[in-house]
Chain A
Amino acid sequence: MYQDVIMSGFGGQGIQIISQIAALAAIRKGLEITYLPSYGVEKRGGRTNVTMVISDSEIGSPITNHPMAIIALDIIALETFQPVVREGGVVIANTSLIPEELFTRQDVQLVRIRSNEEALAMGNAKVANMICLGAYLQRTAYMSFGDIESVIGDVIPERLKHTIPDNLKAIQKGMDLAR
């Protein structure tokens, strides 16, 4: 099993938290991972990119120029990483912020999620990222809802523990939407 993914958005959209949940779930499942957050002279509202490689054997390169999947939470994310997604790869796109005409690849699995509206409809605008994580898990299928459920409490900080049920519901919603 080998999977690499780039998750991208702007600061505050929750890329860090969804990538950390996926990372810990993979580790607890006994998989190897590498986790490379973008770094640099960044500030609030700046870019957030995370490259994750997940494998059941030793991982060589922690970077990839042909990711098997991307999660694009905004336009810049899509414009940056759509061109490099591997043929047949998975593109999870937040179409609340990405207009239709920007999708140019015919040879990838495009999953359009209006995650901001979906999150609002669920009564919590902050879970849009979790909906996209759910869609990603559904399409890549190397981890189950249960894998996520068992680690989410170890990633979400104490003061936000009350948000776990909403987050789990949103992940389930994303999985359903991507089915």
Chain B
Amino acid sequence: MPLYAQRLLFAVGLVALAAVLIEIGFTVAATTHGSQPARVVQVDAGPYPLRVSLYTDPARAGFAVPFAIAPVGQPGGLTFAVTSRPGPGVSATKVNDGVAADASVPGGVQGAAEVPVQGTWFLDIAVDGPLGRATTDVRFEATAPPAIPEWLGWIIGFVPFYGLIGFLALQRPRRRTAMSPA
């Protein structure tokens, strides 16, 4: 392979590596709670009034949505189970979202909702407390970047095969014994 082609390939590799590292950074950053919620919703789960904070709104499909749930007028004693539920027409399944205690809010919890597909989603919240078990949900939208044409997707998807076939096509026998299988 000519030296300039090797250097071009190396440059492409560096760009790809940088893209992977940036993507990892974005994915990690998506799970962290910002200082200000993007949207705050007051809901009642049966006898329990709750304040639900979403830290991205609309959510970005493919990334987690950080959220926090705080009981209103209830010092504690509540336990929460949270599920992301796809709305009608969204090709996805329910996802159980883990929650952990929110150190800044007494009795509150925080977590990150998984939203793998664009469309309407619901954050289903099940609360257990001294007044029994109750549920509620919070609707939110998840958006994705604009769709690239399918043919362009296929052109990109076949990149490893162009690389392999190009690399093999460049091979030329250098000695007679290499022509036939061992």
Co-complex (A, B): no
Which residues in B have some Cβ–Cβ distance to A below 8 Å? Answer: none
Which residues in A have some Cβ–Cβ distance to B below 8 Å? Answer: none
